[in-house]
Amino acid sequence: MRRVERLVYAALAALALACAAGGARGDEVVLHTERSLYRTIVVYDDDGQRCMRFTRQSTARQSCMTLAEPHRILFDYLRMMLGALYVLPEPRRILVIGLGGGTLVDALQRVLPSAHIDAVELDPAVVGVAQRYFAFQPGPNVQIHEQDGRVFVKRALRSGQKYDLVMLDAYDHEYIPEHLLTQEFLREVQAILTPGGVVAANTFSSSRLYDHESATYASVFGRFFNLKRRNRVIIARAGDLPDIETIRRNAERWQGALAPAGVDGNWLTGLFDTTPDWRTDARILTDRYSPSNLLNSTRGP
């Protein structure tokens, strides 16, 4: 197996391992199955939780909620994404790419009711499932856009739209779509940020792509906060990062508002780290040299 093939396959294997823990069990009750243009969507209840997954075979949970507390966040990575508010406490314009069950957008509109939120989701079927099965009700300041996330960013760039906070949480049944991993895309995201604006990206805490993703983000944003649990969340800024004392003060400021969603500021601030734990000379991912393009380029005719 060639080196690039090992890199891609190892990344996909890491995805399965990262998501398998807590995956659907044999006693799940399937509520809804839908074949959209992009995937098969399955909604099921299991042990007091309602979850969504893509494809019948996968155990990876794209979104879950507790039936007894539908607005309480279950996944660590979503709590980590909200750590972006410790870097920029009062964003007025927010872009979220990737909807899932709507958990992140719901949390943001609850704690920031006056902020304008653009939520971008490629698959209209996912939007429908979020509203029908996951208690997602977009408020008056939330606008849903059913289109590709990169297309939306390019159009925002051309029209001069700016965002204080951009949150990247788009996944298919395997991993982040490759065109949302590249240096060119991240430069486009950087270009639609206001001065001091923040980007938060959900990615993996362990994979053969880890070094390359990290080096790609560093090539665009420089230093970034690297929050790691089962997943890892990159929090970068258009400008200098705040020091840890500022992060702690902002965490105290947000503690009361975020507590109902299950966010513990003491736990979350302990994850903020800027120390590189990747090969800083790793190859940068670009539109030309993304994993699949590299794989194809090594194949014979």
Active site members: 169
3-state secondary structure of 74: coil
Are the CB atoms for 198 and 81 separated by under 8 Å? no
> Both tokens of residue 140?
């008056």
Which residue in the block uniquely carries the two structure tokens 């939520």?
A: 119
Are the CB atoms for 84 and 167 separated by under 8 Å? yes
> Both tokens of residue 215?
């080096």
Read off the amino acid at residue 263.
Answer: V
Are the CB atoms for 40 and 57 separated by under 8 Å? no
Are the CB atoms for 42 and 3 separated by under 8 Å? no
Distance (Å, whole) CA 294 – CA 301 = 14
Distance (Å, whole) CA 288 – CA 295 = 11
Question: Would you list the DSSP string of 124-161?
Answer: HHHHHHHHHHS-----TTEEEE-S-HHHHHHHHHHHT-
Provide the CB-side half-sphere exposure for 144 (13 A, CA): 22
If phi over 0 gives left and psi between -120 and 50 gives alpha, with beta otherwise, what is residue 119?
beta
3-state secondary structure of 95: strand
Are the CB atoms for 251 and 245 separated by under 8 Å? no
